[in-house]
Amino acid sequence: LREITVVKRDGKRVPFDRDRLTRSITIALRKRPVDREQIDQMVSGIARKLESGGETEVSSNDVGEFAMEALRQVDPVGYVRFASVYKDFRDPNDFAQFIEQTSLEDEGDAG
């Protein structure tokens, strides 16, 4: 498998770290009814997406979006927890706007 490099927001380039992604998702799912196998499956799916994308460099934004997409399908609370760190929510209004946007997207998917 080819090595994937993650380009961070500040321009720094680091190797893709599967363990770091696993830790981040595990933290978001702490005390949630999601077992380790489900987390491993999510991380494997994200890694496959990155590897099959054909690029050797991906943005940290892409990695975060893939993680949010996976979490959204598995556990809504974990999804919001991850998003709160990833999107750097500063106050309750940020949460409210995010939840409202997510609810609107869900309605659009259902229709």
- List the structure tokens of 89: 């929510």
Q: What is the pLDDT of residue 91?
A: 77
Indicate if the pLDDT at residue 16 is higher than 80. yes
| Residue scoring higher pLDDT (80 or 6) | 6
Residues 6+ apart with CB under 8 A from 98: 80, 83, 84, 87, 89
- Owning domain of residue 55: 5-110
- pLDDT at residue 4, rounded to an integer: 93
Q: How many CB atoms lie within 10 A of CB 83?
A: 22
What was the pLDDT predicted at 29?
Answer: 96
CA distance 5 to 55: 9
What is the structure's pLDDT at 88?
72
Query: Looking at the 3D structure of the chain, how many domains does it have?
Result: 1
